[in-house]
Amino acid sequence: AQSVTQLGSHVSVSEGALVLLRCNYSSSVPPYLFWYVQYPNQGLQLLLKYTSAATLVKGINGFEAEFKKSETSFHLTKPSAHMSDAAEYFCAVRGDVRFSGGYNKLIFGAGTRLAVHP
Amino acid sequence: DGGITQSPKYLFRKEGQNVTLSCEQNLNHDAMYWYRQDPGQGLRLIYYSQIVNDFQKGDIAEGYSVSREKKESFPLTVTSAQKNPTAFYLCASSMVAGGTNTGELFFGEGSRLTVL
């Protein structure tokens, strides 16, 4: 079975500081992993995805994430926070398609709300 | 532009009434999904559909119904049997799993339902 744990429901950083949002997963198959961002009252937008190629994945808006199999982690980072980064971030793992009839069933973490202060 | 359109964005309903949320996509995706979002709980899957005239219950299907009469459309009805319907509802679509498909979901802007 697959599951996702996001450590910290709220993270606050200063503008210009490092952003680190933590995600740990469990998966019975080689995982496909995703980070999505959600701005208030909007849908989710894909930031980046890991698909078993390079372990360091670069996404939009300067974000990147590193897949560490030994730690079952996929933490999201950004070297310098901007005020516009304030949003909620969701980590997700794709469910095992062998048991979902081919559906791309994503299992989401509970989300981390990022606040950026001046 | 290709994408997913949800309507209405905001909806108010009295207790005991059924409401239907619209979801239309022009991405030519075969699979469509409905998620419910509550604060601090992430996204929970309500229903999903891979092809026309076929759909499957997700993790929290009780009190909801769907139809898939057209590839582009996947409306969700929140029935009076849903005990706590106030939430943010998100529709998504994807290519069907297989080949090089990574499973990425594309989301609409969401519909916020409030029961008065």
CB A101 within 8 A of CB A42: no
Rounded CA-CA distance B18/A59 in Å is 40
C-alpha distances in Å from residue B105, one per residue of A56, A77, A86, B6, B58: 21, 22, 22, 15, 16
Looking up tokens 């009780």 gives B62
Residues of B with CB under 8 A from a CB of A: 4, 6, 9, 31, 40-43, 45, 48, 50, 56, 88, 90, 92, 94-98, 101-110, 112
CB A33 within 8 A of CB A48: no
Nearest residue to B46 via CA among B29, B62, B22: B62
The distance of A79 to chain B (nearest Cα, Å) reads 25
- Establish if A111 touches chain B: CB-CB under 8 angstroms: yes
Residues facing A114 on adjacent strands = A11, A87
Mean pLDDT, rounded, of chain A:
91
Contact B108 A43 (CB under 8 A): yes
For residue B93, what is the DSSP state?
A: E
The distance of A18 to chain B (nearest Cα, Å) reads 24
- CA-based Rg of chain A, rounded to a whole angstrom? 14
Optimal mutation site among B45, B102, B112, B114, interface A, most CBs of chain A within 10 A: B102
Higher pLDDT residue, B69 or A3? Answer: B69
Mean pLDDT, rounded, of chain B:
91
A20 CB-near residues (< 8 Å, 6+ apart): A11, A75, A76, A77
- pLDDT tier, B85 (very low <50, low <70, confident <90, very high otherwise): very high
Residue of A42, A90, A104 with shortest CB distance to B31: A104
Nearest residue to B6 via CA among B88, B98, B109, B93: B109
- pLDDT tier, B42 (very low <50, low <70, confident <90, very high otherwise): confident
Residue A115: alpha-carbon gap to chain centroid: 16
The angle at the Cα of B59, spanning B57 to B63, to the nearest 5 degrees, equals 65
Higher pLDDT residue, B67 or B42? Answer: B67
Q: Residue B97: pLDDT above 80?
A: no
Q: Residue B113: pLDDT above 80?
A: yes
Contact B42 A108 (CB under 8 A): yes
Nearest residue to B102 via CA among A92, A80, A114, A17: A92
Residue of B98, B102, B110 with shortest CB distance to A41: B110
